[in-house]
Amino acid sequence: MRTNWTVNQMPTQQGNRVVITGASSGIGYQTARAFASKGAEVIMAIRNVEKGEEAVRQIKLENPGANLKLMMLDLSDLTSVRKFAHEFEQSYDSLHLLINNAGVMTPPYLKTKDGFELQFGSNHLGHFALTGLLLPALNNETTSRVVTLSSTAIKGAKIDFNNLDGSKGYKKVEFYRQSKLANLLFAQELNQRLRENGSNTISLGSHPGRANTNLYSLGSGKPTSLFMKIVVKLIGTQSAEMGALPTLFAATEPSLNGGEYIGPDGKGGNMGFPEIDSSVLKLYESETMGRLWKVSESLTGVSYLS
């Protein structure tokens, strides 16, 4: 049943501390904006400080009392991830919510500072490491959540364990799909492991459908090209504000128990209001999820939960 859930249905977030990666634009910005409006302490984990400062300015124009803090985070650099976690630990003893939102989409073949293919390294491995390093703070809350964003692009995706770095061939769309499938499988495997360990933290996944964000600049960091603007118009998209609703629902809806995947309720999950998306259940292969977890621990050097 469709409920047309909006930000108006979000519970108050007074007293809650939220970390949002990639919060300076697109879905991340709209997510930060919504949490600020509900009274949360919002830590905007961003790579581009100048863009982050402009995002803070914009949010405070409509909500002067917003409790916002910028912290530098480059998910393509594990040293930066560890530095962020250390600085967080020095300033705070607990975390109510982590939203793994940041991502890059279909760039040319590039590698992270640690030698990983850029999309798998930033979209998945960076968030895998960050979550593990922040888990002690999450567990210090009575209840807490991790929400990791995936994408409709997972349709037809697979994890190619024999070519994770792209050295045996690189197709940017396939590697984007792989990274977002990794996000989905990580969210589910994390929830299972949290449950098995009796943790107070739950993990959920979400996706924005087809939301018109700067991801359509194809990872260049530049404004979306005229060609891509035409493509976006032809395929049909919804606003970033609407695209943020599944994430906000996953992060705050009291009835959710962990393990759910939230997306738009429209045809194909492309547009609409948030609902539980059960179409992904067939993708949860325990062997693949377990192997991805072990590989991720090995590549990042971050181990958590047995």
What φ, ψ does residue 168 adopt, rounded to 5°? Answer: -100, 20
Q: If residue 17 lies in a helix (H) or strand (E), which one and from where to where?
A: strand 17-21
Give the sign of the dihedral formed by CA 82, CA 257, CA 177, CA 242.
negative
Q: 226: which residues sit within 8 A by CB, 6+ positions away?
A: none
Cα separation, 253 vs 6, whole angstroms: 11
What DSSP string runs through 193-225?
HHHHTT-SEEEEEE---SB-SGGGGTTSSSPPP
Helix (H) and strand (E) counts in the chain:
10, 8
Among candidate residues 170, 176, 216, 304, the one labeled active-site is 170
Residue 24 gets which letter from DSSP?
T
Cα separation, 186 vs 130, whole angstroms: 13
Which amino acid is residue 51, in one-letter code?
K
Cα separation, 233 vs 55, whole angstroms: 25
Q: Active-site residue 170, yes or no?
A: yes
Residue 272 gets which letter from DSSP?
S
Question: Active-site residue numbers?
Answer: 170
